[in-house]
Structure 1
């Protein structure tokens, strides 16, 4: 640098006292020249430690003997260093580059999307598979108690009818498939309407409205087979666990899932299954129905009516799309029902 170039003002601290001395900084022959009251020194740029710029905070120049300078005009100081051939570290330069900032943001967004779409579901599956049966039962009981208090009403379905449906479900063959032994419970759906839902322990709650909506028992078995698919793949636990990413990583790393599962009942009562989960449950149901000689179209038929215009029932009550407007959307119309119906009707 030419010494005629304007120097940069700074405050000099000798490292032994708190006294600040005004000095002028310049660069000559690869050295930082510091001149001021009782101060005159030349130090090679290579031995100096420069702090990173932090907003409007002074830039610090630390000398080998512990002394340092505070430079307020960082822009002028950087220009002076640049003209001498001295450059900040790449990470410091990138902070002042719009292109580098934009690329960094794009990489950050890509990493977040990758973590959400790929890493989080896989960790949730690993954690869900570690959940002991007794914990799954506890979570299911707590969820059912919450729903009984806020959503469901006592079933008005005759006990004989309930027993007949439970017996029919128990006769389904599950050869060459993950065995699921569901237990049926019957409730009035109220805002939930015509539907069934699976809890992590294998409990499947069937609403009176679903039984009334079905034109035959094979349609009900189709819905129950779908819910058995959710149980088989532990979708409820996986979905609830994914909703608590911090707790998920702790549970996966430490191996203790009990604290994480404390919030599962509330998560289950508000969540909705993803497209992937619904497809897995539909595929499970299709295999189970075919194995038992039941047309896969039975499930598509009742899904179509559940997702279509409401149908009147005895006493003037209605089922179908009415429940899709309730706050309990998780138990109402499943996502992309039209796509699911198309896939089921195309199944062999």
Structure 2
């Protein structure tokens, strides 16, 4: 069987048109002004790829190029078995369609389950010093731009600080935490937790809350985010690729590079529903442990609604848009309240 090919001598740019023949265990080629042969075992054939010509590397440094569809299947049948299988699969449309579906499912599974799981595992091993540095850098980026000096009366601030310190001191499993109050006209009534343990309340939030239990209820929810390292985990989930690269190259300190994403996240603080539920449960238990009815959290949210009857999309009620008062959350708060009252006043 004569197969058309191009012969390259490896010393010049000239191309010879030749015909290649296999004779037992030898390969021979013949063309105008060129001919030769070589043992089949010493010919190095490239892998089979759809649409790509075969390259046969000859012992003397020359090459033969044979079109993909012209190469007899039995000439180098024992070589590149995996590539041969791939070539067979690539020629079947049903395999291509199945591959697309499998890749789509795999991508969905990775981003929905794999990446969050891996990000949480990485977050659990981030040194506390790195987390503190990230929080402090984030606060320095916000201070003076978004967070301005508070106008809340000093005695009121001192009272809230004492409440917060006493409440948080009696909670187990918390990292070191502190309260910070800032005026933030651009984000209105809001509260959020920084990775270094800082819980920020805006002036608008302080002024909107009706009483101390409401303040502690919101504080307990934010402390729930602190206890579970939700900020770091959520940001790492969003920056999963960067985190994976940092861990792969062994440069954990480069995790501080994602700090620039934290202020944007905090100003929108849209935690996942699972993280919000975790923070809610932490708050309900923390309030009950210290003799405060867990319904105070729902009362605080309703107070914010009454203080700002305008649309929940307006900036003045940012906390409500970030922590939506859906029926499930209200129902959980009410259930926790019933359990609290029943424990305090059993029938």
Q: TM-score, normalised by structure 1?
A: 0.77
Provide the residue aligned with 2:330 in structure 1: 341
The alpha-carbon distance between structure 1 residues 142 and 14, as it changes in their structure 2 partners (threshold 3 A), is closer
Partner of 2:233: 238
Matched residue, 1:12: 7
Question: Which of 160, 164, 189 lines up with 1:169 in the alignment?
Answer: 164
- Is 1:81 matched with 2:81? no
Q: 1:134 to 1:51 in 2, by over 3 A?
A: closer
Q: How does 1:159-198 map to 2 (within 5 A)?
A: 159-172=154-167, 177-198=172-193
Secondary structure at 1:60 match in 2? strand
Report deviation, 1:319.
Answer: 9.1
Contact 1:180 1:228 in 2 (8 A): no
1:161-193 Cα deviation digits (max 9, x unpaired): 111122122222776731344311112232322
Matches within 5 A, 1:195-206: 195-206=190-201
The answer to whether the 8 A contact 1:24-1:34 is kept is: yes
* Native 8 Å contact 2:26 2:37 kept in 1: no
**1:33 touches 1:40 (CA, 8 Å); kept in 2?**
yes
Partners of 1:303 and 1:46 in 2: how far apart? Answer: 80
CA contact (8 A) 1:182 1:204 kept: yes
Compared CA separation, residues 153 and 241, structure 1 to 2 (3 A)? same
CA distance, structure 2, for counterparts of residue 44 and residue 180 of structure 1: 71
Structure 2 gap segments, 5+ residues each: 340-347
Contact 1:198-1:228 at 8 Å conserved across structures: yes
- Indicate if the aligned counterparts of 2:43 and 2:57 stay in contact, CA closer than 8 A: no
Aligned length, in residue pairs: 329
RMSD: 3.6
Residue 224 (structure 1) shift: 0.6
**Any idea what the Cα deviations from partners look like across 1:116-148, whole Å, max 9, x if unmatched?**
333433443344344444443332232223223
Are 1:305 and 1:320, in contact at CA under 8 Å, matched by a contact in 2?
no
Range that drifts further, 179-188 or 107-116: 107-116
Name the SS of the counterpart of 2:322 in structure 1: coil
Q: Could you state the TM-score of these two structures normalised by the residue count of structure 2?
A: 0.78
Please state if 1:286 is matched with 2:278. Answer: no
Give me the whole-angstrom Cα distance separating, in 2, the residues matched to 1:121 and 1:130. 15
Shift of residue 35, structure 1, vs aligned partner: 3.8
Counterpart Cα distance in 1 of 2:311 and 2:138: 23
Deviations along 1:235-293, whole A, 9 cap, x unmatched?
11222233333431244345543222133143342363222221221121111011112
Whether 1:311 aligns to 2:311 is no
Identify the match of residue 322 of structure 1 among 298, 314, 319. 314
Please give the alpha-carbon distance, in whole angstroms, between the structure 1 residues aligned to 2:325 and 2:183: 23
The gaps in structure 1 that reach 5 residues or longer are 313-317
Secondary structure of the residue aligned to 2:224 is helix
Change (3 A) 1:18 1:253: closer
Alpha-carbon offset, residue 84 of structure 1: 11
State yes or no: 1:222 paired with 2:214: no
Whether the 8 Å contact between 1:297 and 1:344 is mirrored in structure 2 is yes
Q: CA deviation at 1:204?
A: 0.9
Q: Partners of 1:233 and 1:114 in 2: how far apart? A: 24
Counterpart in the other structure of 2:259? 264
Distance 1:335 1:106, change over 3 A: farther
Alignment match, 1:315:
none
